[in-house]
Structure 1
């Protein structure tokens, strides 16, 4: 990709600032506060609304952890590791496994070696089952992938030890909490307060995950193979600009609080490469649910049609790419 951003402007975007990370205790405070409200709520509707909101907040908290995988949430690497491990405790999976998978995803984005590219296949029965199962019970499949499958396949030596140590830590914390809860006669209530927000988090995570890359050109690089979703200011704020995903993939060392500025600077290159910018997570997700799992042939045809629909008579051609600044796909 031709670097169309001035080096001085890009250097400024790489700079760390501590003030934006004050959102971290704020988010944990909101999450805990919602749990307290749910615990004491007089009506079931309030309880379930709190569970839903807690899952949404967990999605925001996980986007902080996501920056830790690139060692950019904090300046010190050990702080990124410590916060990453801490954040993952309620989510079952290990930070080590997630980080290693995520870095491979960045390295091989939208290619046969991308560990996250399960939406691409031959549209067989197994592809359809996996695709729609992820949409419904993504949190379960994610746990299986990151607790068992990926670590056994990819992690060796110190990384494998770190992963299984984290899983052991999760087990100790979980057993300790539920033994205490059982002694107090509140085990069922504690389980509900953990489990149902986690299920809602999994659904939000599935929407985000599918929307970031589904339907983008296959094996076309970081920029063309990623989708930015403008979404809305509130969602962008709570999910820490993860929706500006093209910029993150091209410049993963830019902290979350500078991604919106990065998007503005990248717009000329995004338009030049005819990359995908959509407005709505839900629109992209529902489109994916209607069209089902991908195949290479369908991907080429789909992007060819999109190119023809969006390119003007004098517009440069883009290989399998698409630019949609005002269209929800």
Structure 2
């Protein structure tokens, strides 16, 4: 894969530029502005529209944090760490835990060791409950995963200390804010301004998360095991090109503002490997909700049919292109 792109072109895409990151204060300004409007809005419809928009903006802000996990948002590593920790404060999740999980996800993408591959299972009752619960209350499950489960299972030594220090920071900040709000008699309003946008953020994050890998070939590598979504230009802009996800998985050191250019350079290889490029987050998410959690057999059948349809009428049938038996899928 590395040889399919000119080295000079790829090197140019790795270069950091500070100008695109001016979107960071812009996004925070929009997010805060929406909160101010919600606080003073004369009608509940305006309030809830602001909450929805705040959750959408928070998803965009979190994609900046995502680049910090790969140390590519800023040149200096400490700046990536500092901004990552700061971004996670409203989510009450440690950047340390998320980063460690995310790097493991990249290393073991769409395999049994991928910590994010919970959509793949045996389609039992537990698999269905977890799958649909994530779609509805993903932000709650994410908090439990990164605050408690993953750190206890995986973090040791300095990383564990960093994680629990972040959780202590979150506790201090949260308690301080709500003690002040209570003293001013506005605790309920402050809670609503924090909680409801976070719920909407969780839904947007679930849509994005599911769409990035659901239904892609299992254990097939970074390129084939990832989906790029050619979303509308507005969504690409607000979510900082995270939808060009194949390029990110193959070349995670390329900053967010170069992912569209990377996608163009990778198109010949993407087409050669018949990797999945879709047009809509909603279409992929609705398909996932209709079909439910994955199983290996279902994954092989679905991708076999897709490959046959893409290759044309002369391609081998799905049943001949895999070793699926007659068990229920």
Q: TM-score, normalised by structure 2?
A: 0.95
- Is the alpha carbon distance of 1:328 and 1:50 closer, same or farther for their aligned partners in structure 2, counting shifts above 3 Å? farther
2 CA distance for matches of 1:323 and 1:310? 20
After superposition, what is the alpha-carbon deviation per residue over 1:269-320, rounded to whole angstroms, capped at 9, x for unaligned? 0000000000000000000000000000000000000001111478899999
**Structure 1 residue ranges without an equivalent (≥5):** none
- Is the alpha carbon distance of 1:328 and 1:303 closer, same or farther for their aligned partners in structure 2, counting shifts above 3 Å? same
Does the aligned pair in 1 maintain the 2:308–2:317 contact within 8 Å? no
Does the aligned pair in 2 maintain the 1:303–1:321 contact within 8 Å? no
**What SS does the aligned partner of 1:3 have?**
helix
**What SS does the aligned partner of 1:294 have?**
coil
Does the aligned pair in 2 maintain the 1:20–1:257 contact within 8 Å? yes
- Runs of at least 4 residues off by over 3 Å: 312-329
1 CA distance for matches of 2:29 and 2:127? 40
1 CA distance for matches of 2:326 and 2:56? 26
Residue 2 (structure 1) shift:
5.5
2 CA distance for matches of 1:123 and 1:291? 10
Alignment correspondent of 2:68: 68
Q: TM-score, normalised by structure 1?
A: 0.95
Task: Map 1:234-249 to 2 at 5 A.
Answer: 234-249=234-249
- Is the alpha carbon distance of 1:186 and 1:228 closer, same or farther for their aligned partners in structure 2, counting shifts above 3 Å? same
Does the aligned pair in 2 maintain the 1:275–1:324 contact within 8 Å? no
**Structure 2 residue ranges without an equivalent (≥5):** none
Deviates more, 1:75-84 or 1:309-318: 309-318
Does the aligned pair in 2 maintain the 1:135–1:203 contact within 8 Å? yes
**What SS does the aligned partner of 1:73 have?**
coil
- Is the alpha carbon distance of 1:268 and 1:27 closer, same or farther for their aligned partners in structure 2, counting shifts above 3 Å? same
**What SS does the aligned partner of 2:277 have?**
strand
Between Structure 1 and Structure 2, how many residues are aligned? 329
- Is the alpha carbon distance of 1:327 and 1:87 closer, same or farther for their aligned partners in structure 2, counting shifts above 3 Å? farther
After superposition, what is the alpha-carbon deviation per residue over 1:8-27, rounded to whole angstroms, capped at 9, x for unaligned? 00000000000000000000
Does the aligned pair in 2 maintain the 1:273–1:318 contact within 8 Å? no
Does the aligned pair in 1 maintain the 2:304–2:318 contact within 8 Å? no
- Is the alpha carbon distance of 1:277 and 1:322 closer, same or farther for their aligned partners in structure 2, counting shifts above 3 Å? farther
Does the aligned pair in 2 maintain the 1:275–1:323 contact within 8 Å? no
Superposition RMSD in Å? 4.1
Does the aligned pair in 2 maintain the 1:280–1:328 contact within 8 Å? no
